[in-house]
Structure 1
Amino acid sequence: MSMNAPRGTQDILPGTSEKWQYVEEQLADLCRRYHYKEIRTPIFEHTELFQRGVGDSTDIVQKEMYTFEDRGGRSITLRPEGTASVVRSYVQNKVYGLPNQPTKYFYMGPMFRYERPQQGRMRQFVQFGIEALGSDDPAIDAEVLSLALNSYRELGLQSLKLVVNSLGDQESREAHRAALVRHFDPHREELCADCQVRLDQNPLRVLDCKKDREHPAMETAPSILEYLNDYSKDYFEQVQQYLDVMDIDYVVDPNLVRGLDYYNHTAFEIMSEAEGFGAITTLSGGGRYTGLVQEVGGPETSGIGFAMSIERLLMALEAENVELPTDEGLDVFFVSLGDEANRTAVKVTDELRRAGIQVDKDYLGKKMKAQFKAADRLGSKFVLVLGDQELENGVINVKNMASGEQQEVALDRIIEHMKNELTGGK
């Protein structure tokens, strides 16, 4: 029996977890500025939610979900993506009836997909995403694209490419669907088994196939842009106009499709163009959707959102040699010698921590020299030394590890003194 972590999962240890914390804090702050509020949904849901919300014809539902039967005989699935759960919550809690609309959410948490693990793609991965529900205004599409792009820019990424497309409304999609069937049907037997099924269930997804991407029929496939009706064309033009006024660079790619069934109108992806990032360049993707709210029992409501993998974000930061400003150092390390000094050190350490100061101490009974080495390894800014002589005099020896300066400070003034030293007297 293996006691290692399951394949496709990972431990995020100290030294790396600080980077995750920094990224998560920056993303949450960005959402606050765009007035998106955090929502937290269950890690598992009823399987039917994803079958109806994500789509029976998708690879996620057909091949990648972690599904099991609970003790009550109910089919339960670990969430493979965030949108369906957010929409389910929106409907279940009747948020659509609140006066302040649109509803703007962000989420962050683990998702689960059974796929071949590779760099930047795990079976358990952390996804950050946003959803804006209840508005058909093209301006909110542009807002979502702006938030997505700034999620990367504000963390220091520069080699980015925004690709946009329109999937049109239902009428446009049906016309394009019929054209795709006419185009690919003569080549049906030459396509992979999955695409032969997709051609009947959701022909748009044939364009997204990794196995058949080199097939000559792919190059001559009809573009959705050729089948957009006037409303869809106008909608897409307005989205582009808003991107232009925000000075956001983008490329229109008629071949861009999204793998989930509920998308229409605006679809987009953000890619890394950093050298050495890898063959799979997509960092995040999203788009507008209609029908998903109704599919899970709510009123007719449209939405738009996107999602990104935190793992792939960290890969992109590494590829561009972006150093995150994470402070892994320690404010204070407490060195104590002697039983009475140790008891006092425990008391003062607790008081310093409650005063908001980061403190650690020796718990292995090391000698003074070894304790100073430990303080140095931990990157401690200051070392407090308390022995029998200091205790008798009612003082603590404070050493600044950067300058080497030492001074004695009264025990009853140590909290005030350390606050001043760590804040520069502010």
Structure 2
Amino acid sequence: MKVQIPRGTQDILPGQAKIWQWLEEKMREVTNKYHFEEIRTPIFEHTEIFARGVGDTTDIVQKEMYSFQDRSGRDLTLRPEGTAAVVRSFVENKMYGDPNQPVKLFYIGPMFRYERPQSGRYRQFVQFGVEALGSQDPAIDAEVISLAMNIYREAGLKNVHLVINSLGDKESRAKHREALINHFRPRIGEFCEDCQNRLEKNPLRILDCKVDREHELMKTAPSILEYLNDESKVYFDKVCQYLTDLGIEYTIDSTLVRGLDYYNATTFEIMSSAPGFGAITTLCGGGRYNGLVEEFGGPETPGIGFALSIERLIAALEAEQVQPDIHNGLDFYVVALGERAKDYSVKLLSELRNNGFSADRDYTGRKMKAQLKSADRLHAKFVVIIGEDELDAGIVQLKNMETGEQKEIKLATFIEEIKQFAV
């Protein structure tokens, strides 16, 4: 039997995992500054959560979900995105009753979508996202967008830009919906089957179609910005004003609708313009989803959030040739020569680790020269050499691998001495 990884998944090997850890730590640092707290939801939920939350006219629900029945016949789905599950938890745990509003949450975890694998896009991928629930203030929109932009800045990306739009409130969307139907209906037969099915259910989804994106009617479709009522215009203008105040440059794109049905009012995407990044330039997307909490049985609660793929972020780092500042080396490598020295090295390693140092040793019985080569490959800062003679004399030899300098240190005061200079 040939054993290999399923299509659309990847192994994150030890060297790569350090980059993931570095990025996740950056994300936690940024969200902490904005006072967002972590939430962890199950990897699978009842299928209805995503059908109702994400929208039954979306590609995710119609084509991409990994759904199954458990032994009791319950319909379950591996989560394809994070917002619906977070909102479900918000309602179920009555977080709307928390005196500290809005409730500001973030998550990091694997998501699953059955779609064609390509560069930076997998069937199992890791998503980072934030959700702010309980505020209708346009300042929270700007804050969430600012948080996303700061994550990319902290990661070291330069070639990113923000695209925003407003989908308006219920009244504005109803007028725009009617205009879209009237616009597409006479020639809807020229569009794909998905678009034909969406004409009456959700014509806004037609604008997000990848198959018919070059159709001439796409270019002349009515803009949502033409149908915003006064309240929606004022709100969107305020968001734009705050972004300007924060020094965040943006482009308004009236065709930006996002791929999920729950969005309304502010929507946005962050794109990469790095040369060689690829045809799919979107790094991050999000927006408002007022009404989603009520859909799950909670009280009227506005919300806004975004999600980004860590795989896409890593691809952007590679495109811009950004080298994360990651220390891959050891503090100490212990070279033990002789059985008694090897026995003692077990205790010595433990003392080093218990005092905050990273340390390792040889476990394959190699000669001293081979052990020193191993220490060099592992980028050890220092090598501790101990043999039978050193053990009898109560000393160790400490070698600085960068300078080559070697000095003798007493075993009795070894930890105290190295703390003074091994930093």
TM-score by length of 2: 0.99
The aligned residue for residue 307 of structure 2 is: 307
| Counterpart residue identity of residue 31, structure 2 | C
The aligned residue for residue 168 of structure 1 is: 168
How far is 1:191 from its partner?
0.4
- After superposition, the C-alpha distances for 1:202-258 in whole angstroms (9 at most, x for unaligned) are 100100101101111111100000110111011101101111111110001111111
The aligned residue for residue 130 of structure 1 is: 130
Mapped to 2, the partners of 1:354 and 1:49 lie a distance apart of 46
Check conservation: 1:357, 1:419, Cα contact below 8 A.
no
The aligned residue for residue 65 of structure 2 is: 65
Q: What's the secondary structure of 1:7's corresponding residue? A: coil
Mapped to 2, the partners of 1:131 and 1:422 lie a distance apart of 43
The aligned residue for residue 351 of structure 1 is: 351
Mapped to 1, the partners of 2:363 and 2:412 lie a distance apart of 24
| Counterpart residue identity of residue 31, structure 1 | T
Q: What's the secondary structure of 2:279's corresponding residue? A: coil
The aligned residue for residue 421 of structure 2 is: 421
Mapped to 2, the partners of 1:419 and 1:96 lie a distance apart of 50
- After superposition, the C-alpha distances for 1:26-54 in whole angstroms (9 at most, x for unaligned) are 01000000110111111111111001111
How far is 1:418 from its partner?
2.3
Q: What's the secondary structure of 1:42's corresponding residue? A: coil
Check conservation: 1:333, 1:380, Cα contact below 8 A.
yes
How far is 1:416 from its partner?
1.8
How far is 1:259 from its partner?
1.1
What are the equivalent positions in structure 2 for 1:327-366 lying under 5 Å apart? 327-366=327-366
- After superposition, the C-alpha distances for 1:333-377 in whole angstroms (9 at most, x for unaligned) are 000011111110001101111111100000001111111111011
Mapped to 2, the partners of 1:205 and 1:325 lie a distance apart of 42
The aligned residue for residue 286 of structure 1 is: 286
Mapped to 2, the partners of 1:88 and 1:24 lie a distance apart of 24
How far is 1:417 from its partner?
2.1
How far is 1:323 from its partner?
0.7
Mapped to 2, the partners of 1:413 and 1:262 lie a distance apart of 64
TM-score by length of 1: 0.98
Q: Is 1:272 paired with 2:272?
A: yes
Mapped to 2, the partners of 1:278 and 1:79 lie a distance apart of 26
The aligned residue for residue 20 of structure 1 is: 20
How far is 1:421 from its partner?
2.2
Check conservation: 1:111, 1:126, Cα contact below 8 A.
yes
- After superposition, the C-alpha distances for 1:251-308 in whole angstroms (9 at most, x for unaligned) are 0111111111111100000000111100011101000011111111111111000000
The aligned residue for residue 116 of structure 2 is: 116
- After superposition, the C-alpha distances for 1:151-184 in whole angstroms (9 at most, x for unaligned) are 1011111111100000000010011001000000
The aligned residue for residue 372 of structure 1 is: 372
Check conservation: 1:286, 1:306, Cα contact below 8 A.
yes
How far is 1:91 from its partner?
0.7
The aligned residue for residue 140 of structure 2 is: 140
| Counterpart residue identity of residue 372, structure 2 | F
RMSD (CA atoms)? 0.8
| Counterpart residue identity of residue 349, structure 2 | T
Mapped to 1, the partners of 2:347 and 2:328 lie a distance apart of 25
The aligned residue for residue 55 of structure 1 is: 55
The aligned residue for residue 412 of structure 1 is: 412
Mapped to 2, the partners of 1:422 and 1:299 lie a distance apart of 57
Q: What's the secondary structure of 2:15's corresponding residue? A: coil
The aligned residue for residue 159 of structure 1 is: 159
Q: What's the secondary structure of 1:243's corresponding residue? A: helix
How far is 1:410 from its partner?
1.0
The aligned residue for residue 396 of structure 2 is: 396
How far is 1:188 from its partner?
1.0
The aligned residue for residue 211 of structure 1 is: 211
Check conservation: 1:269, 1:286, Cα contact below 8 A.
yes
Mapped to 1, the partners of 2:224 and 2:65 lie a distance apart of 29
Mapped to 2, the partners of 1:125 and 1:415 lie a distance apart of 43
| Counterpart residue identity of residue 101, structure 2 | Q
The aligned residue for residue 182 of structure 2 is: 182
Q: What's the secondary structure of 2:188's corresponding residue? A: helix
The aligned residue for residue 242 of structure 1 is: 242
Q: What's the secondary structure of 1:268's corresponding residue? A: strand
Q: What's the secondary structure of 1:330's corresponding residue? A: coil
Check conservation: 1:160, 1:272, Cα contact below 8 A.
yes
Deviates more, 1:290-299 or 1:18-27: 290-299
| Counterpart residue identity of residue 105, structure 1 | L
| Counterpart residue identity of residue 154, structure 1 | E
Mapped to 2, the partners of 1:257 and 1:54 lie a distance apart of 14
Mapped to 2, the partners of 1:355 and 1:43 lie a distance apart of 37
Where in structure 2 are there 5+ consecutive unaligned residues? none
How far is 1:419 from its partner?
2.1
Mapped to 2, the partners of 1:205 and 1:2 lie a distance apart of 42
Where in structure 1 are there 5+ consecutive unaligned residues? none
Mapped to 1, the partners of 2:157 and 2:405 lie a distance apart of 40
Check conservation: 1:287, 1:304, Cα contact below 8 A.
yes
Q: What's the secondary structure of 2:289's corresponding residue? A: strand
Q: What's the secondary structure of 2:60's corresponding residue? A: helix
Mapped to 2, the partners of 1:87 and 1:2 lie a distance apart of 42
How far is 1:200 from its partner?
1.7
| Counterpart residue identity of residue 269, structure 2 | E
How far is 1:310 from its partner?
0.3
The aligned residue for residue 85 of structure 2 is: 85
Q: What's the secondary structure of 1:348's corresponding residue? A: helix
Mapped to 2, the partners of 1:288 and 1:170 lie a distance apart of 13
Mapped to 2, the partners of 1:386 and 1:71 lie a distance apart of 59
Instruction: Give the number of equivalent residue pairs.
Output: 423
